[in-house]
Structure 1
Amino acid sequence: MRKVLLALAAIILLSSLAQLYFAGYFHFQNSIEEQRDAGVYHIVNGQYVLRYAALLAAIVAAIARAGSRTIWLAAGIFLLTWVQLFIFIIGGMLTGSSEEFVTPAGSWVVSIHPLTGALMIFMSYWLFRRARAAALNPQPLPPRADTSDAPSSQATA
């Protein structure tokens, strides 16, 4: 299970780095129509690949007994994907911004999005490091219990 966790952590790290690339690809398009088409990569990767890989990693980390910090790192990445979405929803509701018209206050609120994205990249890096350490260091075996029903063979003198 720890190797599965390592594979999921690698997917999460690569997906979070791809988010940065997709954001740049989205912003450097020539027209609004091209931007909308290019933004699909960023949205799908963040809302589906990254989110559900992090959820699965939290579950696998718990099953693999990788430690509470590793579980919380994966769960934190999962929760931050929701925060990323709610930044736009709540920011638009509070500031009166929309996709067509962004108010100055809306720009300030939505500017939190890249900061939390950078936090996710940092967290995914640490999740990968912890998963790699867990995969390279096997779990110690539990102590063996003596289950024999035979009486003790010690001789009394």
Structure 2
Amino acid sequence: MRKLFLTVAWLFTAAVVLQLYFAAVGVFSNPEDELFAWHGMNGRFALPILALLLIVTAALARAGKRTIWLSVLPLVLILFQTALFILTGVIFGLGPDDHASPPLAATLFISLHAVNGAAILLMGVLMIVRARRLVREGPPAKPVEASTAPEADETPAAVPGA
């Protein structure tokens, strides 16, 4: 399961890089070609599915609580990508036909879409790092329980110069 987690982390990160490429293709192509649709399709289907698989494989690999909870963050950030468009429409009163000449404030706000995309990419890289560590070193160590911890009333060793 650990190697599967690593594989899914790589696939997710590759899909995010591909998402950035699709955005560039859409921006730099002729609008009549409708190539920007690739960006939308990948962002609506492939990325959420891979983000869900990232959560499931992290849990099945017993990656540790912190890594499992961190694996939820890419999905939250992906959902936030869509929320940014909804919030922009609500805050600035824009409809689907207003994208040709939005106010500057709306443009600055919706441009957070790219910054959030960078955060998703960084989360993918973090998942690769954590999954590689898990494959190499095994599951994280369990915290020391109170019964095996040194007693508080034991006298500490003498500290020189104290």
By the TM > 0.5 criterion, same fold? yes
Aligned counterpart in structure 1 of residue 86 of structure 2, from 62, 73, 89: 89
Match of 1:111 in 2: 111
Decide whether aligned partners of structure 1 residues 125 and 133 sit closer, same or farther in structure 2, where only a CA change above 3 A counts.
same
Match of 1:12 in 2: 12
Match of 2:138 in 1: 138
Q: Is the 8 A contact 2:62 2:139 kept in 1?
A: no
Q: Is the 8 A contact 1:52 1:78 kept in 2?
A: no
Q: Give runs of aligned pairs for residues 66-85 of structure 1, distance below 5 A.
A: 66-85=63-82
Q: Distance in 1 between matches of 2:66 and 2:127?
A: 9
Task: Please say which of residues 66-75 and 131-140 is displaced more in the overlay.
Answer: 131-140
Q: Give runs of aligned pairs for residues 35-74 of structure 1, distance below 5 A.
A: 37-74=34-71
Q: Distance in 2 between matches of 1:69 and 1:19?
A: 27
Task: Please say which of residues 40-49 and 115-124 is displaced more in the overlay.
Answer: 40-49
Paired residues, what number?
137
Q: CA offsets per residue over residues 67-89 of structure 1, 9 Å max, x none?
A: 12221222100111100011001
CA deviation after TM superposition for structure 1 residue 105, in Å: 2.3
Question: Alignment RMSD, CA only?
Answer: 1.6
Specify every segment of 5 or more residues in structure 2 that has no aligned partner in the other structure, as ranges: 141-162
Q: Is the 8 A contact 1:6 1:128 kept in 2?
A: yes
CA deviation after TM superposition for structure 1 residue 139, in Å: 4.5
Q: Distance in 2 between matches of 1:33 and 1:103?
A: 24
Counterpart residue type for residue 74 of structure 1:
S
Q: Is the 8 A contact 1:5 1:60 kept in 2?
A: yes
Q: Distance in 1 between matches of 2:124 and 2:138?
A: 22
Specify every segment of 5 or more residues in structure 1 that has no aligned partner in the other structure, as ranges: 141-157
Q: TM-score, normalised by structure 1?
A: 0.81
